[in-house]
Amino acid sequence: MMKKLVGNVVSMLMEALMWITLIACVIGGAVFGYNQAGVGSAIGGLVAGALAGMLLNTMWWFISVILEIRNYSKKWVGKYKANLESSIPEQDSNSPTSMRMPDFQRILASYGKKIIISLVSLALLAGIIVVAKNFAGSYTGEKKSEKTEEPIESFGFKTVKMPDGKIWMAENLNDASKGGKCQDDNPSNCEKYGRLYTWEEAKKACPSGWHLPSDAEWTALANFAGGDKVAGGKLKAKSGWSNNGNGTDDYGFSLTPDGDGEYSRLWSSTEHNASNAWRRRIDYDGSTVLRDNQHKANPYSVRCVKD
C-alpha cells in the first residue's frame, strides 16, 4: 500500500515538473526574445520556448518508460529464477510467459502517444531553427553587407550596401561647402567625425544622387540591425567612443560619435512640427537607437542614402 502511494506521489511530482518546465521555457523564451528585439522576437521566443519545454519533457517521458521497463524486467527475472528453483511451471496470469505481452502493451499504450509527440516536437523545432536562421539573415541584417568605395563627386566617401539593398555613406558627411561646423570648432574633429549641420543645412547637404534619410529609413535600418534595442551596438564603429563604448560594426556602417566621443546624433529629413525635426541618437554607454525630435537649429551629423 505504502509503495503504491509513494509511486503515485512520485508520478504526480514528475507530471508537475513537466508542466513547470514547459511554462518556464515559454516565459523564458518570450522574455529573451523581447529583450533582444521587441515584440516580434518575443513571439518567436515564445514558440521556441514552448518547443524546448516539450523536448525537455521528452527526457522525463523516456526516463519514465525506461524505469518502468526496468522494474518489470526485474520482476520477470525474479519470478523466472523462482520457477527454476522450484521446478514447478507457473501458467497463471503472473507467469513469465503470460505477463510479458500485456505488460509491454500497457507500457506502450501509456507512453506511446507521449513518445510520438516528443519526436514530432523535435522535428518541428529543427524546422523552426532552419526557418528562423534564414529569417534572421534576411530580416535582422545578419547577411554580410557589401562594403564599397564609390566616389561621391570629388569627396570619395566610403559607402556600405546594407542587407535591404540600400546604400548608405559609411562615414559622416564632411562638406564645408554645404555649411555646418566642426565640433568645438576644431578642424581635426571634422576630419575624423564629419561636420555638424542644422536641419535646414542637412536637407541640402547630400551630394547629387543622394538624400538625407527619412525617419522611416532610419527605422528600417535599425530593424535590419536587430531592432532599436541592439542596433546601436552593431552599427557603432570599433573605435572612437568614450569609456570603451565601441561597437562591433557588424555591417561596416562605422558609426562614429559627434566629436566628444559620447554621442552620435543624426538628422532625418522628416519634420515633426514647425520648429522640430526627427533625429536618431546613440550613446557611448548603450546599444539603443533612440528616436526623438529636436530643434531644427541644433547642429547634428549627417549620413546620406543613395537615391
SS (HEC) of 12-57: HHHHHHHHHHHHHHHHHHHHHHHHHHCHHHHHHHHHHHHHHHHHHH
Q: Are residues 177 and 205 in the same domain?
A: yes
Q: Are residues 135 and 239 in the same domain?
A: no
Q: Are residues 158 and 130 in the same domain?
A: no
Q: How confident is the model at residue 78 (pLDDT cuts 50, 70, 90)?
A: low
Number of domains in the chain: 2
Q: Are residues 101 and 206 in the same domain?
A: no
Q: Is the dihedral of CA 97, 103, 109, 113 positive or negative?
A: negative
Q: Is the pLDDT confidence value at 201 over 60?
A: yes
Look up the pTM and report it. Answer: 0.55
Q: In this structure, what is the dihedral angle of CA atoms 248, 253, 259, 265, given to the nearest 10 degrees?
A: -100
Identify the domain boundary among 100, 122, 139. Answer: 139
Q: How confident is the model at residue 120 (pLDDT cuts 50, 70, 90)?
A: low
Q: What is the DSSP string of the chain?
A: -HHHHHHHHHHHHHHHHHHHHHHHHHHHHHHHHHHHHSHHHHHHHHHHHHHHHHHHHHHHHHHHHHHHHHHHHHHHHHHHHHHHHHT----STTSHHHHHHHHHHHHHHHHHHHHHHHHHHHHHHHHHHHHHHHHHHHHSS-SPPEEE----TTT---EEE-TTS-EEESS----GGG--B-GGG-HHHHHHH--BB-HHHHHHHSPTTEEPPPHHHHHHHHHHTT-HHHHHHHHB-SSS-GGG-----TTS--B--SSSSSEEEEEEEEE-SSSEEEEEEEETT----EEEEEETTS-BB---EE-
pLDDT at 157: 80
Question: Lowest mean pLDDT: which of 110-119, 152-161, 172-181?
Answer: 110-119
What's the CATH code of the domain at 238? Answer: 3.10.100
Q: Are residues 109 and 78 in the same domain?
A: yes
Q: What are phi and psi of 304, to 5 degrees?
A: -105, 155
Q: Are residues 203 and 268 in the same domain?
A: yes
pLDDT at 162: 85
- Mean pLDDT throughout 145-151? 45
Domain of residue 86, residue span: 2-139
Identify the domain boundary among 108, 139, 170. Answer: 139
Whole-angstrom distance, CA of residue 192 vs CA of residue 243:
18
Q: For residue range 264-278, what is the model confidence (pLDDT) as tens digits? A: 999 999 999 999 999
Q: Are residues 275 and 219 in the same domain?
A: yes
Q: Are residues 154 and 27 in the same domain?
A: no
Q: Are residues 179 and 38 in the same domain?
A: no
Q: Is the pLDDT confidence value at 260 over 70?
A: yes
Identify the domain boundary among 95, 113, 139. Answer: 139
Q: Are residues 80 and 165 in the same domain?
A: no
pLDDT at 164: 78
Q: For residue range 28-42, what is the model confidence (pLDDT) as tens digits? A: 666 665 554 455 555
Q: Are residues 26 and 106 in the same domain?
A: yes
Q: Are residues 178 and 111 in the same domain?
A: no
